[in-house]
């Protein structure tokens, strides 16, 4: 699932849930106590969202979020139970306590009314990608160059806002069309999310693509039910430790083919 579409779907579900919160069960056991008692932490992840989560050749989940789930499980002293979720059902899974937390959640004001967030653990952003041989370091360098993008998306809006008048923006009906145009040479550059960009970098080395510059940033957080301060503190501590000791950067290099941003 393309991450922007997944995020949009989750946002709509979150908005719909705001009106339901008053009807939620009044009390649940503290999540930390439940996890400690069972020895298991249930973490909702996408399994069709590479490189954050997908099924590998050995038929087991692999990806950035899978590795982060392992870090969280270790910090909680619990066995990790990965729960496959979709953009449509994952907010309900969290509200119904079918999972203890969700990964790959972008923070928005609407979602903040429904759930809490850890500190960010992964970068998510839109970026301009192109071959290493093409010198492009900023929006000004797009002058006279062709850029492929999916029509009407956040990618389209973001690049249109900053591109100089002489840049040629080629718009396609969907992200796959924009990617194909770049890979086939119809466009010199493309605008996609860093998740899609990392996958292309891994699968198409002959095109020798690289990330040129960022356009729009919305980092990933761990999503939690509200009023779970002890669980939030534990997760924040685990994320902070992984950033400090370099293990989160190693995960970013492994799956996103880019270092963890210094300001994350």
Question: Are residues 64 and 168 both part of a single domain?
Answer: no
Question: Are residues 22 and 91 both part of a single domain?
Answer: yes
User: What's the domain range around 174?
Assistant: 126-217
Assess whether pLDDT exceeds 50 at residue 2: no
Rounded mean pLDDT of 38-55?
Answer: 93
Residue 261 lies in a domain: no
Question: Are residues 10 and 95 both part of a single domain?
Answer: yes
State the pLDDT at residue 16: 44
Residue 181 lies in a domain: yes
CA 42, chain centre distance (Å): 19
Give me the residue label for tokens 């950067």.
Answer: 249
Question: What is the 3-state secondary structure of the chain?
Answer: CCHHHHHHHHHHHHHHHHCCHHHCCCCCCCHHHHHHHHCEEEEEECCEECCCEEECCCCCEECHHHHHHHHHHHHHCCEEEEEECCCCCHHHHHHCCCCCEEEEEECCHHHHCCEEECCCCECCEEEEEEECCCCCCCHHHHCCCEEEEECCCHHHHHHHHHCCCCCEEEEECCHHHHHHHHHCCCCCEEEEEHHHHHHHHHHCHHHCEEEEEEEEECCEEEEEECCCHHHHHHHHHHHHHHHHHCHHHHHHHHHHCCCCCCCC
Q: What is the CATH number of the domain that holds 148?
A: 3.40.190.10
Round the average pLDDT of the chain to a whole number and report it. 88
Question: Are residues 119 and 36 both part of a single domain?
Answer: yes
Residue 264 lies in a domain: no
Cβ(144)–Cβ(122) under 8 Å?
no
Assess whether pLDDT exceeds 70 at residue 14: no
Residue 222 lies in a domain: yes
Q: How confident is the model at residue 146 (pLDDT cuts 50, 70, 90)?
A: very high
Question: Are residues 70 and 109 both part of a single domain?
Answer: yes
Question: Are residues 184 and 67 both part of a single domain?
Answer: no
Cβ(32)–Cβ(101) under 8 Å?
no
Cα–Cα distances (Å) from 230 to 35, 239, 240, in that order, read 12, 14, 15
Residue 248 lies in a domain: yes
What percent of the chain clears pLDDT 90, i.e. is strictly above it? 69
Greater model confidence, 6 or 78: 78
Question: Are residues 65 and 177 both part of a single domain?
Answer: no
State the pLDDT at residue 1: 41
pLDDT in tens, 175-203: 889 999 999 999 999 999 988 888 887 78
pLDDT in tens, 84-127: 998 889 999 999 999 999 999 999 888 899 999 999 999 999 99
State the pLDDT at residue 21: 41
Question: Are residues 18 and 133 both part of a single domain?
Answer: no
Q: How confident is the model at residue 56 (pLDDT cuts 50, 70, 90)?
A: confident
Question: Are residues 105 and 222 both part of a single domain?
Answer: yes
Cα gap 198→180, rounded to integer Å: 15
State the pLDDT at residue 175: 84
State the pLDDT at residue 206: 67
Give me the residue label for tokens 């790959």.
Answer: 104
Pairing of strands 61-62, 53-55: antiparallel
State the pLDDT at residue 29: 67
Domain count of the chain?
2
CA 83, chain centre distance (Å): 17
Residue 262 lies in a domain: no
Question: Are residues 112 and 10 both part of a single domain?
Answer: yes
Question: Are residues 248 and 208 both part of a single domain?
Answer: no
Question: Are residues 19 and 115 both part of a single domain?
Answer: yes
């Amino acid at each position: 699932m393309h991450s922007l579409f997944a995020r949009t779907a989750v946002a709509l579900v979150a908005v719909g849930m705001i009106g339901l919160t008053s009807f939620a069960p009044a009390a649940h056991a503290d999540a930390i106590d439940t996890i400690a008692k069972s020895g298991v932490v249930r973490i909702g992840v996408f399994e069709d969202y590479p490189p954050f989560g997908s099924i590998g050749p050995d038929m087991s989940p692999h990806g950035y979020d899978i590795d982060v789930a392992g870090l969280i499980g270790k910090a909680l002293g619990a066995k990790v139970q990965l729960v496959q979720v979709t953009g449509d059902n994952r907010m309900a899974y969290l509200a119904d306590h079918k999972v203890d937390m969700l990964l790959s959640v972008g923070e928005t004001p609407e979602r903040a009314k429904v759930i809490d967030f850890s500190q960010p653990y992964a970068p998510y952003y839109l970026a301009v990608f192109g071959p290493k041989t093409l010198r492009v370091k900023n929006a000004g360098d797009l002058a006279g160059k062709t850029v492929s993008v999916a029509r009407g998306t956040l990618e389209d809006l973001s690049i249109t806002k900053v591109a100089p008048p002489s840049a040629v923006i080629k718009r396609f009906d969907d992200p796959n069309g924009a990617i194909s145009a770049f890979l086939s040479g119809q466009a010199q550059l493309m605008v996609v999310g860093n998740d899609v960009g990392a996958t292309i970098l891994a699968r198409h080395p002959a095109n020798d693509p690289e990330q040129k510059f960022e356009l729009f940033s919305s980092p990933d957080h761990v999503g939690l039910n509200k009023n779970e301060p002890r669980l939030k503190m534990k997760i924040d501590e685990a994320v902070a430790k992984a950033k400090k000791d370099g293990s989160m950067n190693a995960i970013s290099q492994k799956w996103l083919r880019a270092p963890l941003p210094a300001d994350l």
